[in-house]
Amino acid sequence: MTADQALFQPTKIGAIDVANRVAMAPLTRSRADMAGVHSDLAVQYYRQRATAGLIITEATNISRQGRGYAFTPGIYTDAHVAAWRRVTDAVHQAGGKIVTQLWHVGRMSHVSLQENGAAPVAPSAIQAGELVFLESQTQAPPSMPRALETDEIPGIIADYRHAALMAKHAGFDGVEVHAANSYLLDQFIRDSTNRRTDRYGGSVENRTRLPVEVITAVSEVWGSDRVGVRLSPMSRAVGDTSLDSNPQATYGHLARELGKLGLGYLHAIEGQTRGANAAAAFDYKALHAAFGGRYIANNGYDRQLAIDAVASNHADMIAFGQPYIGNPDLVDRLRRNMALNENDKSTFYGGGAKGYTDYPSLGATVRA
Ligand code: 8OZ
């Protein structure tokens, strides 16, 4: 086998058999309804991308409290399950595999998105930078959060467990726990956003306790070999300064603890989310080694970087994000070394079919 063929070989990611090493990274597209229920447009969107070895869905809210952006989907009501079931059936019929990404935004929310205008919750009452997207189709700074009481933590874990169970009812192949990009679990991990003095704050052991407890609970539902986790040790939220003071030690500890659970995979955003690949800024190989299991690398990979990363065993799979917006048949294009469609950035978030399900695949005529 030549180096460039390794990217297209099947493998096993935990308990999931994947047809190739190309994953579709989670992509927020904001096309669900106000209640977080997908329409059949999402069925078409995911079906079109089913030749990916593994689809990781867009970040999906585990609870009403976990919601921070309008029109993002949920996985906590029966209506959510029914809508996602149509998606998973379509992907499976097309020969694909699909896991959903379990998401609680923590402080990255707005009172208008919360039940009865409640304050968003966070490890500590520190307001986030960046902007969230409201139902009024406008953007706003996140609201001032309130710190979770210690006795509320079991309720958060129960919400993750419930969402994991709902994901099972919806027919997914597994779940990915979103512990990246400065959302709730990452807010606990980082000392810049966690000033707690209880057993969930202070030491690295304490700050990583909630992610480990959540992932343990989710693993009880699914079996740990169908649970993945996404981390982004070096990624700041836009307009935010929320990095950890010692990412290598903190995320290394977490990866080691998660490795002991026997998870299906660790998915790492190498560098700044949506930025260039910055594998040099952090020792991701050490993170992978601490974890000891399957590793999905993400961020700014192109065809050659992906081929090299899989051929050299840097990664077991490469997750492509933005290339999957405009290229439903990305695997085919990479295999044949064909040009990629350009993305229309104005249709990334919100709207309908335009920029969602209308990107062309290489047709049979091109193929001939
Ligand atoms: C883009 C817009 C809103 C949310 C992430 C879930 O960065 C997101 C997200 C991306 O992980």
Closest protein CA for atom 1 of ligand 1? 28
Nearest-atom index, ligand 1, CA of 232: 11
Closest protein CA for atom 5 of ligand 1? 181
Q: What is the pTM of this model?
A: 0.97
- Tokens found for residue 62: 């585990």
Judge if the beta carbon of residue 341 lies within 6 A of ligand 1: no
pLDDT computed for residue 239 by the predictor: 63
Judge if the beta carbon of residue 124 lies within 6 A of ligand 1: no
Judge if the beta carbon of residue 59 lies within 6 A of ligand 1: yes
- Tokens found for residue 64: 């009403």
As annotated, the active-site residues are: 183
pLDDT computed for residue 342 by the predictor: 96
Closest protein CA for atom 2 of ligand 1? 28
pLDDT computed for residue 281 by the predictor: 80
Closest to 312 (Cα-Cα) out of 290, 295, 328 = 295
Task: Determine the residue of 30, 60, 69, 322 to mutate for testing ligand 1's pocket, defined as the one with the most ligand atoms within 8 A of the Cβ atom.
Answer: 69
Q: Using the mean position of ligand 1's atoms as its centre, give its distance from the Cα of residue 364 in Å.
A: 35
Q: Are 359 and 327 in contact (CB under 8 A)?
A: yes
For residue 286, give the 3-state DSSP assignment: helix
- Tokens found for residue 22: 């190309």
Nearest-atom index, ligand 1, CA of 178: 11
Euclidean distance between the first and the last CA atom of the chain, given in angstroms as a whole number? 25
Per residue in 234-267, pLDDT (tens digit) is 998 766 668 999 999 999 999 999 999 999 999 9
Per residue in 164-215, pLDDT (tens digit) is 999 999 999 999 999 999 999 999 999 999 999 999 999 999 999 999 999 9
Q: Using the mean position of ligand 1's atoms as its centre, give its distance from the Cα of residue 183 in Å.
A: 9
DSSP class of residue 107 equals T
Alpha carbon distance 128, 358 (integer Å): 35
Judge if the beta carbon of residue 181 lies within 6 A of ligand 1: yes
Q: What is the mean pLDDT of each run of 10 residues along the chain (368 residues)?
A: 87 98 98 97 98 98 97 98 98 98 97 97 94 92 97 98 98 99 97 97 98 98 98 83 92 98 98 83 96 97 97 97 98 97 97 97 60
pLDDT computed for residue 365 by the predictor: 46
Closest protein CA for atom 9 of ligand 1? 28
Q: Which helix (H) or strand (E) holds 45?
A: helix 40-48
Judge if the beta carbon of residue 56 lies within 6 A of ligand 1: no
